[in-house]
């Protein structure tokens, strides 16, 4: 018989796939726009993908903490605690760093007339994408820690 803990582990793994998988391509999706119509469409797709990222990420945190409460020895493992801290830091990056940098981009997309992508977009998006890449690196580190459990 499969244990409750193993069920939580399976849900945790699927949550990682559902939440982190789309998160790695959010930047790539919007880089494909060659004019304002395509760029706006890319950002709408990005928003839909972000819903999966948020749902999967929330479930990932819940199941990760549930595993810790079911197996309290995890809270004494360096890889687990480090992963948890990095995950919470990555979550904080969203509202504290990404959201303020995405608002001007969204405003530009809503207000700009014409099909040519303005230079201001490239400046704003470059700054936004830099922090998104940082977040992706954090998630890669977490994945490596979860797989290797080095300490």
What pTM, to 2 d.p., does this model score? Answer: 0.88
Instruction: Tokens 């904080």: give the residue.
Output: 92
Contact 93, 131 (CB under 8 A): yes
The rounded distance, in Å, linking the Cα atoms of 88 and 73 is 20
Domain range for 100 is 4-148
Q: What is the pLDDT of residues 30-83, one digit of tens each?
A: 988 899 999 999 999 999 999 999 999 999 999 999 999 999 999 999 999 999
Q: In the chain, how many domains are there? A: 1
Check pLDDT > 90 for residue 124: yes
Q: What is the pLDDT of residue 32?
A: 84
Q: Are 102 and 61 in contact (CB under 8 A)?
A: no
Whose structure tokens read 């040519």? Answer: 116
Q: What is the model's pLDDT at position 33?
A: 86
The percent helix, strand, coil of the chain (3-state, each to 5) is 85, 0, 15
């Amino acid at each position: 018989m499969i244990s409750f803990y193993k069920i939580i582990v399976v849900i945790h793994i699927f949550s990682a796939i559902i939440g982190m998988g789309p998160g790695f391509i959010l930047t790539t999706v919007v880089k494909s726009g060659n004019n304002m119509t395509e760029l706006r469409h890319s950002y709408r797709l990005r928003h839909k993908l972000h819903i999966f990222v948020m749902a999967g990420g929330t479930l990932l945190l819940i199941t990760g903490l549930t595993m810790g409460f079911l197996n309290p020895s995890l809270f004494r493992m360096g890889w687990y605690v480090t992963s948890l801290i990095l995950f919470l830091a990555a979550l904080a990056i969203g509202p504290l760093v990404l959201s303020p940098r995405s608002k001007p981009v969204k405003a530009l997309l809503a207000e700009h007339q014409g099909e040519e992508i303005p230079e201001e977009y490239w400046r704003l998006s470059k700054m936004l994408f830099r922090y998104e890449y940082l977040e992706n690196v954090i998630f890669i580190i977490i994945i490596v820690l979860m797989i290797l459990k080095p300490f």
